[in-house]
Amino acid sequence: MQNLENKTALITGGSKGIGFGIAAALMAQGMNVAITSRSQKGADEAAAELNKSGKGKALGIKADVRNFESQQKAVDTVLKKWGTLDLFVANAGVGFFASIEDMTLDQWHETIDTNLTGVFYSLKAGLDGLKASKGYFISISSLAGTNFFVNGSAYNASKFGVTGFTQAAMLDLRQHGIRATTIMPGSVATYFNNHKPNETDAWKIQIEDIGQMVVDLMQMNPRTLLSKIEVRPSMPA
Protein backbone atom coordinates (compact mmCIF):
# COMPACT_ATOMS: atom_id res chain seq x y z
CA MET A 1 0.00 0.00 0.00
CA GLN A 2 1.44 3.34 -1.07
CA ASN A 3 2.06 6.03 1.57
CA LEU A 4 0.33 9.26 0.51
CA GLU A 5 1.66 11.54 3.23
CA ASN A 6 3.11 14.82 1.89
CA LYS A 7 2.09 14.04 -1.69
CA THR A 8 0.25 16.79 -3.58
CA ALA A 9 -3.02 16.89 -5.51
CA LEU A 10 -4.79 19.48 -7.65
CA ILE A 11 -8.56 19.11 -7.99
CA THR A 12 -10.62 21.23 -10.36
CA GLY A 13 -14.07 22.23 -9.13
CA GLY A 14 -13.05 21.17 -5.64
CA SER A 15 -14.96 23.72 -3.58
CA LYS A 16 -18.00 21.43 -3.19
CA GLY A 17 -19.51 18.14 -4.23
CA ILE A 18 -17.36 15.29 -5.50
CA GLY A 19 -14.23 17.42 -5.67
CA PHE A 20 -14.59 18.48 -2.05
CA GLY A 21 -15.18 14.87 -0.98
CA ILE A 22 -12.03 13.75 -2.79
CA ALA A 23 -10.01 16.56 -1.21
CA ALA A 24 -11.17 15.62 2.30
CA ALA A 25 -10.32 11.95 1.78
CA LEU A 26 -6.84 12.74 0.44
CA MET A 27 -6.07 15.17 3.25
CA ALA A 28 -7.05 12.53 5.80
CA GLN A 29 -4.16 10.51 4.34
CA GLY A 30 -1.77 13.44 4.84
CA MET A 31 -1.81 14.80 1.29
CA ASN A 32 -1.65 18.50 0.48
CA VAL A 33 -4.50 19.50 -1.81
CA ALA A 34 -5.18 22.53 -4.00
CA ILE A 35 -8.80 23.01 -5.01
CA THR A 36 -9.97 25.32 -7.77
CA SER A 37 -13.17 27.25 -8.28
CA ARG A 38 -14.22 30.06 -10.60
CA SER A 39 -14.71 32.06 -7.39
CA GLN A 40 -11.71 32.87 -5.17
CA LYS A 41 -14.10 33.35 -2.25
CA GLY A 42 -15.61 29.91 -2.81
CA ALA A 43 -12.18 28.30 -3.11
CA ASP A 44 -10.90 30.02 0.05
CA GLU A 45 -13.97 29.11 2.10
CA ALA A 46 -13.77 25.47 1.07
CA ALA A 47 -10.03 25.34 1.78
CA ALA A 48 -10.60 26.85 5.23
CA GLU A 49 -13.21 24.17 5.97
CA LEU A 50 -10.86 21.42 4.80
CA ASN A 51 -8.01 22.79 6.89
CA LYS A 52 -10.07 22.33 10.05
CA SER A 53 -9.91 18.55 9.89
CA GLY A 54 -7.41 17.20 7.42
CA LYS A 55 -3.87 16.14 8.31
CA GLY A 56 -2.67 17.66 5.05
CA LYS A 57 -2.99 21.28 3.97
CA ALA A 58 -5.54 22.78 1.59
CA LEU A 59 -5.10 25.74 -0.76
CA GLY A 60 -7.85 27.53 -2.69
CA ILE A 61 -7.11 28.76 -6.22
CA LYS A 62 -9.32 30.76 -8.58
CA ALA A 63 -9.21 29.08 -11.99
CA ASP A 64 -11.48 28.40 -14.95
CA VAL A 65 -10.96 25.09 -16.75
CA ARG A 66 -12.26 26.64 -19.97
CA ASN A 67 -9.09 28.74 -20.15
CA PHE A 68 -5.75 26.98 -20.67
CA GLU A 69 -3.67 29.81 -19.24
CA SER A 70 -5.82 29.72 -16.10
CA GLN A 71 -5.13 26.00 -15.73
CA GLN A 72 -1.42 26.48 -16.30
CA LYS A 73 -1.34 29.18 -13.64
CA ALA A 74 -3.06 26.84 -11.16
CA VAL A 75 -0.48 24.12 -11.84
CA ASP A 76 2.37 26.61 -11.50
CA THR A 77 0.95 27.78 -8.17
CA VAL A 78 0.90 24.20 -6.84
CA LEU A 79 4.44 23.48 -8.02
CA LYS A 80 5.74 26.72 -6.56
CA LYS A 81 4.12 26.03 -3.17
CA TRP A 82 4.75 22.30 -2.79
CA GLY A 83 7.29 21.40 -5.45
CA THR A 84 5.45 18.42 -6.88
CA LEU A 85 2.20 17.39 -8.55
CA ASP A 86 1.41 13.76 -7.74
CA LEU A 87 -2.28 13.71 -8.63
CA PHE A 88 -4.47 15.80 -10.92
CA VAL A 89 -8.22 15.25 -10.64
CA ALA A 90 -10.22 16.80 -13.49
CA ASN A 91 -13.57 17.10 -11.74
CA ALA A 92 -15.12 20.44 -12.74
CA GLY A 93 -18.37 20.02 -14.64
CA VAL A 94 -21.71 21.59 -15.55
CA GLY A 95 -24.96 20.24 -16.93
CA PHE A 96 -27.73 21.68 -19.08
CA PHE A 97 -30.56 19.30 -19.86
CA ALA A 98 -32.96 20.11 -22.69
CA SER A 99 -34.10 18.76 -26.02
CA ILE A 100 -31.95 19.58 -29.02
CA GLU A 101 -34.73 21.97 -30.08
CA ASP A 102 -34.38 24.01 -26.88
CA MET A 103 -30.64 23.71 -26.23
CA THR A 104 -29.02 27.09 -26.78
CA LEU A 105 -25.66 27.63 -28.43
CA ASP A 106 -24.29 29.10 -25.20
CA GLN A 107 -25.42 26.07 -23.17
CA TRP A 108 -23.84 23.69 -25.66
CA HIS A 109 -20.51 25.50 -25.66
CA GLU A 110 -20.37 25.91 -21.88
CA THR A 111 -21.02 22.20 -21.42
CA ILE A 112 -18.43 21.04 -23.95
CA ASP A 113 -15.87 23.70 -23.01
CA THR A 114 -16.12 22.89 -19.29
CA ASN A 115 -16.70 19.14 -19.23
CA LEU A 116 -14.53 18.04 -22.15
CA THR A 117 -12.12 20.73 -23.28
CA GLY A 118 -11.51 21.57 -19.62
CA VAL A 119 -10.31 18.02 -19.01
CA PHE A 120 -7.90 18.28 -21.95
CA TYR A 121 -6.61 21.64 -20.70
CA SER A 122 -6.16 20.20 -17.21
CA LEU A 123 -4.06 17.27 -18.40
CA LYS A 124 -2.12 19.38 -20.86
CA ALA A 125 -1.25 21.93 -18.16
CA GLY A 126 -0.29 19.29 -15.62
CA LEU A 127 1.60 16.96 -17.93
CA ASP A 128 5.17 18.03 -17.13
CA GLY A 129 4.49 17.91 -13.39
CA LEU A 130 2.93 14.46 -13.66
CA LYS A 131 5.85 13.21 -15.76
CA ALA A 132 8.28 14.42 -13.11
CA SER A 133 6.42 12.65 -10.29
CA LYS A 134 5.24 9.66 -12.34
CA GLY A 135 1.90 10.72 -11.00
CA TYR A 136 -1.77 9.99 -11.48
CA PHE A 137 -4.44 11.65 -13.64
CA ILE A 138 -8.10 11.03 -12.82
CA SER A 139 -11.08 12.39 -14.72
CA ILE A 140 -14.59 12.38 -13.32
CA SER A 141 -16.87 11.25 -16.13
CA SER A 142 -20.33 9.77 -15.54
CA LEU A 143 -22.49 6.80 -16.39
CA ALA A 144 -23.86 9.36 -18.85
CA GLY A 145 -20.55 8.78 -20.62
CA THR A 146 -21.76 5.40 -21.79
CA ASN A 147 -25.57 5.61 -21.44
CA PHE A 148 -27.45 8.23 -23.42
CA PHE A 149 -30.80 9.65 -22.29
CA VAL A 150 -33.51 12.05 -23.41
CA ASN A 151 -32.61 15.75 -23.09
CA GLY A 152 -28.97 14.78 -22.58
CA SER A 153 -27.40 15.68 -25.92
CA ALA A 154 -24.80 18.16 -24.62
CA TYR A 155 -24.09 16.36 -21.36
CA ASN A 156 -23.90 12.94 -23.03
CA ALA A 157 -21.59 14.30 -25.71
CA SER A 158 -19.28 15.83 -23.12
CA LYS A 159 -19.12 12.75 -20.89
CA PHE A 160 -18.80 10.26 -23.76
CA GLY A 161 -15.91 12.49 -24.80
CA VAL A 162 -14.30 12.52 -21.36
CA THR A 163 -14.45 8.74 -21.17
CA GLY A 164 -12.92 8.28 -24.61
CA PHE A 165 -10.32 11.01 -24.09
CA THR A 166 -9.11 9.62 -20.78
CA GLN A 167 -8.89 6.06 -22.05
CA ALA A 168 -6.87 7.14 -25.08
CA ALA A 169 -4.69 9.41 -22.92
CA MET A 170 -4.10 6.49 -20.57
CA LEU A 171 -2.43 4.61 -23.43
CA ASP A 172 -0.28 7.65 -24.26
CA LEU A 173 0.74 8.29 -20.67
CA ARG A 174 1.75 4.79 -19.59
CA GLN A 175 5.10 5.18 -21.36
CA HIS A 176 5.91 8.01 -18.92
CA GLY A 177 4.94 6.03 -15.83
CA ILE A 178 1.74 8.08 -15.41
CA ARG A 179 -1.44 6.25 -14.52
CA ALA A 180 -4.80 7.54 -15.78
CA THR A 181 -8.29 6.53 -14.70
CA THR A 182 -11.76 7.77 -15.47
CA ILE A 183 -14.40 7.36 -12.75
CA MET A 184 -17.98 7.13 -14.00
CA PRO A 185 -20.47 7.71 -11.17
CA GLY A 186 -24.21 7.34 -11.30
CA SER A 187 -26.39 9.29 -8.87
CA VAL A 188 -24.27 11.18 -6.31
CA ALA A 189 -25.56 13.39 -3.50
CA THR A 190 -24.10 16.74 -4.64
CA TYR A 191 -25.10 20.30 -5.51
CA PHE A 192 -25.03 19.45 -9.23
CA ASN A 193 -27.73 21.06 -11.37
CA ASN A 194 -28.86 23.30 -8.47
CA HIS A 195 -29.71 20.36 -6.21
CA LYS A 196 -29.17 20.75 -2.47
CA PRO A 197 -28.20 17.46 -0.77
CA ASN A 198 -30.69 16.37 1.90
CA GLU A 199 -31.90 13.32 3.80
CA THR A 200 -33.75 11.98 0.74
CA ASP A 201 -30.35 11.42 -0.90
CA ALA A 202 -29.34 8.67 1.54
CA TRP A 203 -29.66 6.01 -1.18
CA LYS A 204 -27.23 7.82 -3.49
CA ILE A 205 -23.47 7.52 -3.71
CA GLN A 206 -21.97 9.95 -1.19
CA ILE A 207 -19.06 12.25 -1.94
CA GLU A 208 -16.91 10.49 0.67
CA ASP A 209 -17.44 7.23 -1.25
CA ILE A 210 -15.82 8.74 -4.33
CA GLY A 211 -13.11 10.18 -2.11
CA GLN A 212 -12.34 6.72 -0.71
CA MET A 213 -12.19 5.36 -4.24
CA VAL A 214 -9.53 7.90 -5.21
CA VAL A 215 -7.51 7.06 -2.09
CA ASP A 216 -7.72 3.37 -2.99
CA LEU A 217 -6.50 4.10 -6.53
CA MET A 218 -3.58 6.14 -5.22
CA GLN A 219 -2.59 3.45 -2.73
CA MET A 220 -2.68 0.61 -5.25
CA ASN A 221 0.66 -0.78 -6.37
CA PRO A 222 1.75 1.25 -9.45
CA ARG A 223 2.13 -1.92 -11.49
CA THR A 224 -1.68 -2.26 -11.56
CA LEU A 225 -4.14 0.16 -13.14
CA LEU A 226 -7.93 0.35 -12.92
CA SER A 227 -8.36 2.43 -16.04
CA LYS A 228 -12.15 2.83 -16.10
CA ILE A 229 -14.52 2.47 -13.15
CA GLU A 230 -18.32 2.46 -13.29
CA VAL A 231 -19.90 3.15 -9.91
CA ARG A 232 -23.60 3.26 -9.10
CA PRO A 233 -25.88 3.13 -6.06
CA SER A 234 -26.26 -0.47 -4.89
CA MET A 235 -29.88 0.09 -3.81
CA PRO A 236 -31.50 2.77 -5.97
CA ALA A 237 -34.63 4.48 -4.73
- Residues annotated as catalytic (active site), given as ranges: 155
Cα-trace Rg, the chain: 17
Residue 210, Cα to own-chain centre: how many angstroms? 10
Contact 59, 110 (CB under 8 A): no
Q: Where are the beta strands (DSSP E) in the chain?
A: 8-11, 32-37, 58-62, 87-90, 136-140, 179-185, 228-231
Side-chain-facing half-sphere of 62: CA atoms under 13 Å: 5
| Residue 23 vs residues 8, 58, 91, 231: alpha-carbon distances, Å | 11, 8, 11, 19
For residue 66, the SS3 value is coil
Phi then psi for residue 62, to 5 deg, are: -80, 125
Long-range contacts of 102-108 (CB under 8 A, 24+ apart): 103/153, 103/154, 107/154, 108/154
- Rounded CA separation 106/97 (Å): 13
Closest CA to 60 of 39, 34, 38, 79: 34
- Rounded CA separation 189/211 (Å): 13
